[in-house]
Structures are given as C-alpha cells and as structure tokens.
Amino acid sequence: MNFRILQRDMMKRKGVNMILFLFITLATVFLASSVNNILVVNSAVEYFIDYANVPDINIVMKSETDTEKINAWLDQQIQKGAIERYHYQALRTLSEKAVRISANGKEKKLDTKGDSLYVGTIPDEFNQAFDESGKRFTLKSGEIAMSGSMMERNHLKLGDTFLLKLGDETKTFQITVKTKDAAFGNEMAGMSRFLVNDRDFRDISKNTLGIGLYDVVSKDAFAFTQKLDNQGFTSIANTVTRDMYRKIYSFDMIMAGLLILIGVCLILIALLVLRFTLVFTIEEQYQEIGILKAIGLRDNAIRKLYLVKYFAIVMAGAVLGLGISVPVSTMMIAGINSNMVMENSSAHLGVSILCAVFVVVLVLAFCYFCTRRLSRVSAITAIRGGDIGERYHKRYGLLLHKRKYMPVILYLGSNDILSHLKRYTVLIITFCISFILITIPLNTLNTMRSDEMVKKFLLDPNSSVYVRQIELESEGKYMDVNALNAGIDRLQKELKAEGYDAKLHGEAIFFLQIKGLDASQTMNLMSVQILDQNASYAQYSSGSAPKLENEIAFSEYIMKHKGWEIGDYVTVLINGKERTMIITGTYSDYMQLGKSARVNPNIDLSQEIMFDYWTIMVNMKTDMTQEETAVKMQKLFPDYEWMSAQQLVDSNIGGIQDILDELLLPMTAMLCLVIMLITLLMEKLFITREKGEIAMMKSIGFRYSAIRSWQIIRMSLVVLTSMFISIPLSLLSNQFLLKPIFAIMGAEVQIQVDAVQAYLLYPAGLLIGIILATILATRSIKYVDIREMNNLE
C-alpha cells in the first residue's frame, strides 16, 4: 500500500517534489564537499608544517647588522634552556623593479601583490621547500624555483624565463621547479621566496641586500618572542611563530566555510519548503486522513504513509548529492594539494556519507515533527467535510464592506495574509533571508570602496594621486628617510619638468623599540612617520596628531592592550638613545592589523633603518579623478607605479573587492533563481489548495486576469513586507556580522550602506524575479475547471 501511495503522491506533485529533491541534492553536495575540505585542510596544514620542518619561531631580519649580537644572545638562551637550538639561513632581498619575467616571448613585470621578495638557496634543515610531487629537488646554475601561487598569479609555467637585473647586467634563469613552500608559499604570508643553487646565490649576493632568517626551536614561543622584543635588536623585521603559519593556512578554509554556510541555508530553505508542503498536504487530504483514522489506523501508522514519500525524495537527493560531492571534494582538495604536501590527498568518502546521512536524518526528523499536525485531524473532521463543529473562533483580517477605495484584488491579497499570518510568515522568513544575504556582499563592497576605508589605510581620498616604487635602479631600496626624501625631491622635479607643480609627501615605516615608563615589556612596534606637517587626512578617534618632536600617537589596540592613556609618557629607542615622548592621540586604522604608532613629522629618524615607505601622496591641480590621474601619469612616467587610494586599498586586502565585485551579479542571479524556484513551488501549492475558491470565483464571473492578479498581488505584498522587515535585520547583520569581520583587520569601521542599492535596486531585482515566478505559476489558474468547486472545503 505504501508503494501505491508513494507512486500516486510522486506523480501528483511532480514540480514540488522536483524542487525539494533539488534543494536536498544541492545541500548534500555543499555540506559533504566543504566539510571534507575543512577536515583535509586541517590535517594537511599540520602535516605540511611538520614535513617542511617549519621551526617554532622564524625571525625575519631586515639587515645583517645585528647578526653577531643576536647570535651571542641566542647562544645565551640555549645555555639558559629558553631555546633548544637555532639555525641561520642567509637570504637576499630583491627589489620588485629588478625582476622581470618572460613567457611566450613576452617580457613583463612580476605581479608580487605587494609581497616582500627574497632569494635563497635550497634549505636543508628548516623551512624546506619541495617540488610538485612533494620531494626534495636540486637546481643547476641558471635554474630557479618559485612557489605555485606566484607562478599561478603570473600565469607562468615551467620553462619560462625569470630575469634578474643585478647592477648593470641581467641574469637569466629558467623556471624549472614549482615549489610547495610552507613558510613562503602562502599568499597570506606576505613573503615570497625564490630558490637558486649556491653558485647563483653567491652571484646574486654581490648586488643585493643581505637579510637573514633565524630558525629557532623553543618550547615556549610566546615567552621567547617577548624576551626578544626586550632586547632592542633594531635589525629584526618580524617574528613568525608556527601558530601564525597555522592561522595563515586556515584562510584556505574560508571558501569551504562559505560553502557550508550556503549548504546550511539550503537545508533551512528545504525545511521551510517541506513544512509548507506537509502542512498543505495534510490540510488538503484531511478527508483521507480522517477516514483512515475512522477505520482504526493509529496516528503513527498514518504518519508512516506520509514519511515514506519524503524518505524517498530525501534519500534520492542525498544519494545523488553524495555522488556529486565526490568529484567536487576531489576538485577542492586538488586545489589545496597544489600548494601543500599532503599525507593523504583523497577525499574521505566516510565523511561525505556521514554528511549525507546527517541531511537525511535532519530532514526526516523535521518531517516527523511537522506531521504532528495529523493528530489534529479527526474522523469527525473528515465526515463533516472539514468542519470540526467548532463554530466560534476569532476571525482575523480586513472587512471588505468597510473599504471604500481598496480594489477588490488588493483586498483579497492583503486579507489572505492577515487571515493566515502563520502560513505567510514562512515565506516572509525565506524572502528576508534572501534580501539579507544580498545586502551582505553589497555592504561589504560599499564599505571597502568608501572614503572611510581609504582613511583607515592612512590614505587621503581627496589627494590627486599616489605613487609607489619611485626608486631608480641605481638608488636601490631606500634604507633611510633621507634617501626617501631625496627620491621624493627628484620625482617632484621630474613632475615640474613635465608641467606638474606637485607637492609630494611620503609615509616612512620604521620598527621602533617602545616601552611604557613603568618599564614594562618593550615592543618592536611598526611606527609611521607622515612626512607632512598638515596631514589632516590622518584621523584620530581621540586626542590630536603628534606634531612636536616629543609627541607620539598609538592605535586604539595598543593603548588598550598596554593600558595607556592620552597624556601618558613612553620611551622610544631612537638612534640608540631612549627618548621620552608624550601620547597625544589615539586612532583606529588597518596599518599592521591595527597595531602601530604614529610618530611626529619633526623628529629626526634619519639614522634609523627605514623598513619601507607606505606610499607617496601627490597633490597638484587637476580636475581628474584619482583613477584618471593614475592612468595618465602611468603613461607619462611608466617607471613608477601610479595608483588611486582605492587601488592601494585593494592591493592591500588581496583583491577581495574585485572578487566580490565579480561575484555580486552571479550571486544575485543564483539567489534570484533559488527564490524563483521557492516562489514557484509555494504558488503552485497555494493554487492547489485554493482550486475550489478559484473555481467558485470563476463561476460567479471573476475574470482569469482578476484571479491571477489576486495571486500576484498577494505574493508581491509578501515580498514587500519581507523587504521592509529585512531593512532593520540587515542593519543588525551589519553590526553583528560585518563589523566583527572588518575588525579582524585591526580597526572598527562604519559599515557603508547605499540605501538605494541595498534596499531598492537589488531587492527590486529579486522582487521582479519573484513576480515572474508567480506569473509563471499562476498560468495554471486558466486550467482550473469550475467543477473543482467540489474541492472547496
């Protein structure tokens, strides 16, 4: 009997069953493949870090000046038992300008995405690198190895050429190995390493700046880095612990995390749709249920009849989803495998099966929960034609005879919603989720493109343009602020010669040793010196910008972390002497993930090693936008890198803005499609349920178009209500979802909402999709026979 009921139900609602099947299939695919991906990444990261022998602490140097002192201190630490041992790897730093690549006969610049470039030899102990098959390799003279991510970004393949300008001559290398490099191969590390053989390295060393890498093995990495910070070694650029590498690689799981979120949303929608379908089916088949009860069937026995159908759909969807998830998981894992050495690079079928079983159990449990409604249907209900004998209950809704102006179809639509609020709430929730989902990337994108974001990167949205990479090949990398100022002066003259009377300001970056007067721990803190007396674009959340020689400002994170307040004094190690400075202000920006200091423009830091300069701001008379100016100046001065403030922000956040921008329309289209499917399904269910009423309206003379309009208006009202409800909910999601995400980068930012775009244009697109789906579904009204009045309860 179960099979016959199943067969009949499957044929009766083909459309509804298909949509449910589709949702279950997709949910299983997303869930199984992304959970698999996360598990594989998790175990692979640990394995890869061990396999490559990444030490507990990597100390990245910016020069070799302190090498002897550091070696002596580290030896002392071994004796004290603070560390087990250490190892020094020689590395040379490369200027972006010195490197060119050649592929398919075309020579071009290397796209570094702002990474620091290093060259070294094949490491034999720590921070090892491997070839694509995960094995160690050797290099001949003239051969170079580089990470897979660098090669992919630059569309390079093995055999392509790498050109390195060393003084007056250019050394040519052939790319022979694509490496899997745990310490330098991940895009989020901000460091890229090229490997050459010993002879080539010696040649390169003659014309490049030597830095180094200390590999330290210590049981307590945190305590060791604290001690190291207190030593005042000015040539240390950065320390990277093993934990930090783990975090860096965990970014590979973001996409999988997003897919899990989509899978969960799909399951939620499938559950909503299921509830809707079940409630409708039970209400529609009350007579059959009542009669089954009248002949003595128990509630559970009747429930089984209904659950069999959903079990069949869910099983079919889960099995198909499981089947599809296998190649999808393999594809996702292949992406990870290209950058990591993995112990086991195959997807876990067991995990996928568990995910599919989870979907089946969850959906069936929900079905079981929803079929509780069956117990409300009694034999008497069936016999009395749906009338349970209850005569008096509160009636909700509007009164037509009291509406003097409201068109009848508008009345019918709004009265339906008000009379059955619970039924329409399911739809409203579904639409609200969709509207909020679309505002999230939109608001993220608008925030990233906002002036506030630009200012958080210490940039001025109102300046004319920005320029980077101003060093000439003969100047090499600027190592102090005097060299930077000289470069700026030279460029200013070059601009003047071309008729541009421009003022240029740089932002020099130093790592200074700073501590509070209470003699607390010393910090090696990134400190920015804005070489402009009137940098009004640099904002302060409290206090004011440091102007006098003894003034300094700190980011909110540092102030909070150290318990400092404006007016407190700190000591800063400058030119080997401790200088006492007063804190004049605090700010919140994204420089060094919100952990930085701003030094006044008047103090002389010319004896300090300048780690880098952030960018150079150009102010001149122009009617063009920053983007237009950047394009124009790039043509006039092709040796330098001209950018708008927005482009600089984008290059710093890894092109997320571009990805989001590209994904926004396909995402909206996909969401629109899902919503249209749901609407189609819901509307079909409405029509099935209301066949009797539709037939009656037709019999008393309502036109087909009027009945259709009633259905369309009702759905439009539901959508409009959802749109209004989703506005405050979206603002809440900005506050509790987007703000914390942006805060990860180190600063609070006001989420930018383009109300017209977020609450009108994009929702209007979804609204049109929903109305189209309703129009499509309501075509079936034409075929409702007047004899269907017999279906009127």
Partner 1 sequence: MMEALNITNLCKTYVVNKRSNNVLRNVNLKIEQGEMVAVMGPSGSGKTTLLYTISGMDRATAGSVDFFGRELTDMKGNEMSDLRLREMGFVFQQMYMLKNLSIYDNIVLPAYQAQAGHHKAGRADICERAVMLMKKLGISEVSENAVNEVSGGQLQRACICRSLINQPKIIFADEPTGALNKQSSGEVMDELNRINHEGMSILLVTHDMKVASRCERVLYIEDGTIRDEFALGKWDITQDMRVRERNLNDWLIKLGW
Residues that bind partner 1 (CB under 8 A): 387, 390-393, 395, 397, 399-401, 403-405, 407-408, 412, 415-416, 419-420, 692-693, 696-706, 786-787, 789-790, 792-793
Q: Cα angle at 44 between 38 and 45, to 5 degrees?
A: 90
Query: Closer CB to partner 1, residue 46 or residue 793?
Result: 793
Query: Closer CB to partner 1, residue 416 or residue 507?
Result: 416
Q: How far apart are CA 37 and CA 35, in angstroms?
A: 5
Residues forming beta bridges with residue 174, ordered by sequence position:
143, 161
The residue assigned the tokens 């926004």 is 664
Q: Is the dihedral of CA 130, 133, 139, 142 positive or negative?
A: negative
Query: Shortest Cβ distance from residue 702 to partner 1 (Å)?
Result: 6
Q: Cα angle at 16 between 14 and 17, to 5 degrees?
A: 65
Query: Closer CB to partner 1, residue 84 or residue 793?
Result: 793
Query: Closer CB to partner 1, residue 384 or residue 547?
Result: 384
DSSP one-letter code for 138: -
Query: Closer CB to partner 1, residue 637 or residue 702?
Result: 702
Query: Shortest Cβ distance from residue 396 to partner 1 (Å)?
Result: 9
Answer whether 522's CB lies under 8 Å from 229's CB. yes
Choose among 519, 604, 589: nearest CA to 558.
Answer: 589
596 burial via Cβ count (<10 Å: 0-12, 13-18, 19+): buried
Phi, psi of 86 (to 5 degrees): -145, 165
Query: Closer CB to partner 1, residue 167 or residue 407?
Result: 407
Q: Helix axis angle, 421-448 relative to 704-733, nearest 10°?
A: 50
Q: How far apart are CA 498 and CA 632, in angstroms?
A: 12
Query: Closer CB to partner 1, residue 43 or residue 425?
Result: 425
Choose among 118, 260, 143: nearest CA to 198.
Answer: 143
Query: Closer CB to partner 1, residue 152 or residue 283?
Result: 283
Non-local CB neighbours of 688 within 8 Å, separated by 6+ positions: 13, 280, 284
Range list of H helices, 744-788: 755-756, 762-777
Radius of gyration of the chain measured on its C-alpha atoms: 33
Q: How far apart are CA 776 and CA 768, in angstroms?
A: 12
SS3 746: coil
Q: How far apart are CA 46 and CA 146, in angstroms?
A: 22
659 burial via Cβ count (<10 Å: 0-12, 13-18, 19+): exposed
Query: Shortest Cβ distance from residue 425 to partner 1 (Å)?
Result: 16
Query: Closer CB to partner 1, residue 479 or residue 696?
Result: 696
Q: How far apart are CA 699 and CA 694, in angstroms?
A: 9
Query: Shortest Cβ distance from residue 348 to partner 1 (Å)?
Result: 53
Query: Closer CB to partner 1, residue 3 or residue 392?
Result: 392
> Which residues of 351-390 form beta strands (DSSP E)?
none
Residues forming beta bridges with residue 178, ordered by sequence position:
146
Helix, strand, coil content of the chain in percent (nearest 5): 55, 20, 30
Q: How far apart are CA 288 and CA 377, in angstroms?
A: 10
Query: Closer CB to partner 1, residue 298 or residue 782?
Result: 782
Q: Cα angle at 641 between 640 and 646, to 5 degrees?
A: 155
Query: Closer CB to partner 1, residue 389 or residue 576?
Result: 389
Answer whether 98's CB lies under 8 Å from 165's CB. yes
Q: Cα angle at 184 between 179 and 187, to 5 degrees?
A: 95
451 burial via Cβ count (<10 Å: 0-12, 13-18, 19+): middle
Choose among 657, 331, 625, 636: nearest CA to 498.
Answer: 636
Query: Closer CB to partner 1, residue 399 or residue 744?
Result: 399
Query: Closer CB to partner 1, residue 462 or residue 790?
Result: 790
Query: Closer CB to partner 1, residue 178 or residue 698?
Result: 698
Q: How far apart are CA 747 and CA 41, in angstroms?
A: 29
Q: How far apart are CA 666 and CA 111, in angstroms?
A: 27
Query: Shortest Cβ distance from residue 320 to partner 1 (Å)?
Result: 35
CB under 8 Å, gap of 24 or more: what pairs does 132-137 form?
132/177, 132/178, 132/180, 132/338, 134/51, 134/180, 134/341, 134/342, 137/177
> Which residues of 448-522 form beta strands (DSSP E)?
465-468, 503-516
Query: Closer CB to partner 1, residue 168 or residue 390?
Result: 390
Containing 118, the helix (H) or strand (E) segment is strand 116-121
Distance of CA 214 to the CA centre of its chain: 33
Query: Shortest Cβ distance from residue 682 to partner 1 (Å)?
Result: 18
Query: Shortest Cβ distance from residue 420 to partner 1 (Å)?
Result: 8
